[in-house]
Amino acid sequence: MSQVSGAITRRGFLSLSAAAGVTLAGGAGAAALGSITERYPESRFRSLDPRFGGMTIGNTPIVRIASGNLWAEGPAWSGNGRYLVWSDIPADTQRRWLDDDGHVSVLRQPCGKSNGNTFDANGRQVSCQHLHRRVVRYETDGSETVLADRYDGKPFNGPNDVVALADGSVWFTDPGYGLNWYEGQPGDLELKESIYRIDPNGRVERVTDEIYKPNGLCFSPDYKTLYAAETGSSHYPDAAREIRAWDVSGKRLSNGRTFASMEMDDGQSGVADGLRADTNGNLWVGAGWGGDGYDGVHVFAPDGDRIGQIIMPEICSNLCFGGKDRNRLFVTASQSVYAIYVNARGAHFA
């Protein structure tokens, strides 16, 4: 989809229609692009603690920058290219939004029904593919390198979210949500749902299986804490709706614990999905499946207190910081992608 002076060009319409097979913005059943804010300050910013007050901006809107997805996931910001990439998993498509003019185009199709994406320290994109049950890296010459596709001789369940560190290691979650025709292909869980680390030399290690279904993944600003979203309640009745945390020492994790519950004080509850930390150690969380007034972005202080929300009109999946100053929050939410300037900066380069 291309947007020029508020209009969708024929080229953009045809390319995205062919890739997604769905109605685009401006058509019946699709959300219009542009600001969804009607009046400043944005009423969707909900402060639950004075600490959240300094993180929002009173004269900025929430903007829908793309629509027409089937299920948008895995946003990642390319600092080199000044673009946002995300996955539309059922459409088997990666899309790209350009910072300079807001143009949206197909980046890759097919893409192995990828979910999570990130960029490494060399600016190369790393993606988790549901269809092929593997983690891959796209090289600067356009080729694709398989970083990991099995552990202990067995295929992964379906890598989900991924973080690439400056030391060359790659960490990813493997909950197994792509074992169906819609987001991958049918198959069996052959490994306990876990979090893994790919060493720079290519060796794959399981770092923890102390979680039912690990989903979103991120590190604290100093890389001393690893966070993961627990979404096991989708399959396991004993799984808590929470965010887990571990202490990090090199490649080892210890002291697994609950960082925060996704249940609100009023009992309303959903699940966390994507996670990102800002430079002050606050955790920004894409949250969904809790209903109106819950779905959106939840912000937690470093001590685990929920201090604020950004209520969104759709179920949210994932998010990332981007833009020149890393102070623009990009949110994938069901059929749309949103952008919001905040008074916070992403802690990491991707």
Length of the chain: 350
Q: How much is the pLDDT for 31?
A: 84
pLDDT of 12 higher than 70: no
Q: What would the pLDDT profile of 255-273 be if each residue is shown by its tens digit?
A: 999 999 999 999 999 999 9
> What are the E-state strand segments in 70-124?
72-78, 83-88, 93-98, 104-108, 114-119
pLDDT of 28 higher than 50: no
Exposure on the CB side of residue 328, measured as CA atoms within 13 A: 23
pLDDT of 9 higher than 60: no
Spans of all domains in the chain: 36-341
Q: How much is the pLDDT for 7?
A: 35
How far apart, in whole angstroms, are the C-alpha atoms of residue 84 and residue 98?
7
Q: What is the mean pLDDT of residues 21-48?
A: 77
- The closest of 119, 166, 173 to 148, measured between CA atoms, is 173
pLDDT of 13 higher than 70: no
Angle at 60 between CA 59 and CA 63, to 5 degrees: 155
Superfamily of domain covering 36-341: TolB, C-terminal domain (2.120.10.30)
Q: How far is CA 62 from CA 37, 72, 98, 141, 311, in A?
A: 6, 17, 17, 36, 10
- State residue 12 phi and psi, 5-degree precision: -65, -40
Neighbours of 186 (CB within 10 A): 8
Q: What would the pLDDT profile of 109-164 be if each residue is shown by its tens digit?
A: 999 999 999 999 999 999 999 999 999 999 999 999 999 999 999 999 999 999 99
Q: What is the mean pLDDT of residues 225-249?
A: 98
Q: How much is the pLDDT for 30?
A: 63
